[in-house]
Structure 1
Amino acid sequence: MSTPRTPDPGLLVISVLSADWDGFWPVVGAELEQRFGPFDSSEEFAFDETDYYNDELGAPITRRLIAFDELRPLDELADIKLWTNAVEQRFAADGRRRFNLDPGFLTLQRLVLATGKNFSHRIYLRDGIWADLTLIWQRGHWVDFPWTFPDYAGEAMKTRLTKLRLSYKNKRSKPQT
């Protein structure tokens, strides 16, 4: 018999996509910090593996990957996704989002993203939110799946996530305040 236990908290990571950073980032960055605490942000980097968001967000789209200082309980993922969806809608113009916020949790074993779309490999959480097992850490590197989004399957993203995983590992070894 397995004995249920609360898992270690995860590193909240949010991927932010936009073609118009000046139009929203200072305000939205401050809202993210107010809601989830201080964070580190990557530089902007190209999002060019797909044109899926171009009609809605414009082009060229770039991404920032942000990781929050405070580790969070994994069962907050649905709440976080619902909150980020509300922020996207609040800043929408003419029925179109100006940016896309994709939250997920990084742990030593995996990267799980939140989504509102069902698919065969996704696990339902609640309130229309699903958990997408995007990558797993195995034998010292990230392993992707046939369903992993191309941008997350690329080496540039995996390199960034490896650095965040090391940061997460270091945070776990220090007492949280």
Structure 2
Amino acid sequence: MSTPKTPLPGLLVLSILSARWDDVWPGLLHELEARFGPAGHVSDLFPFDQTGYYDKELGTPIVRRLLAFDALRPLDELAGIKLLTNALETAHAGQRGRLFNLDPGFLTLERLVLATGKNFSHRIYLGSGIWADLTLIWQRRGWVDFPWTFPDYAGEDMKSRLTKLRQLYKTKLNNQKD
């Protein structure tokens, strides 16, 4: 018999896509920090060019920024966080649609799980219309993707960035033990 156990908290990671950074930044960062606490990592902007899926709605060229927040959070908060980020997208949307796309997820030592409002065969329902997408797993000192992993997350640039965030997460876990 397995014994239920509360997992270690995760590192809240947020991917932000936008073609209008001058219009949304740094105000969006302040709003996110008001909801999730200080950001311990704010990446530089880097290209999002693996797909044209968001081009019509967000405009072009779309660039991405990754955030990771200082406070580690319980993993069962993921659905609520996705609902909150959806509300932020809607609150800032213009007549032509969203100004940005927010994709929250939890990074742990073992995996990266993103939240989504779209069902698919490999996704697990969390509640409130939100699913968990197992995007990457950590195995033998590196990230392993799946056939369903979004191309941008399967790329070496993103995996390198996530490896640095995983090290940040490990440091936070070790500091909690002290």
For the aligned pair, the TM-score class normalised by the smaller chain equals over 0.9
Cα distance in structure 2, aligned partners of 1:29 and 1:161: 20
**Structure 1 residue identity aligned to 2:17:** L
1:95 CA drift (Å) = 4.8
Cα distance in structure 2, aligned partners of 1:41 and 1:175: 22
Question: Where does residue 42 of structure 1 map in the other structure?
Answer: 43
1:28 CA drift (Å) = 1.2
Question: Where does residue 32 of structure 2 map in the other structure?
Answer: 32
TM-score in terms of structure 2 length = 0.97
Cα distance in structure 2, aligned partners of 1:59 and 1:21: 11
Question: Where does residue 7 of structure 2 map in the other structure?
Answer: 7
**Structure 2 residue identity aligned to 1:55:** K
Question: Where does residue 141 of structure 2 map in the other structure?
Answer: 140
TM-score in terms of structure 1 length = 0.98
**Structure 2 residue identity aligned to 1:18:** S
What percentage of aligned pairs have identical amino acids?
A: 70
Question: Where does residue 123 of structure 1 map in the other structure?
Answer: 124
Q: Summarize the alignment of residues 6-155 of structure 1 with structure 2, pairs less than 5 Å apart.
A: 6-39=6-39, 40-155=41-156
**Structure 1 residue identity aligned to 2:24:** F
Cα distance in structure 1, aligned partners of 2:60 and 2:99: 11
Cα distance in structure 2, aligned partners of 1:51 and 1:106: 26
Q: CA RMSD of the aligned region, Å?
A: 0.8
1:131-153 deviation digits (Å, cap 9, x = unpaired): 00000000110000000000000
SS in 2 for 1:175: helix
SS in 2 for 1:117: coil
**Structure 2 residue identity aligned to 1:142:** W
1:175 CA drift (Å) = 2.2
**Structure 2 residue identity aligned to 1:28:** L
Cα distance in structure 1, aligned partners of 2:7 and 2:130: 20
1:26 CA drift (Å) = 1.7
Unaligned runs of 5+ in 1: none
Question: Where does residue 170 of structure 1 map in the other structure?
Answer: 171
SS in 2 for 1:156: helix
SS in 1 for 2:165: helix
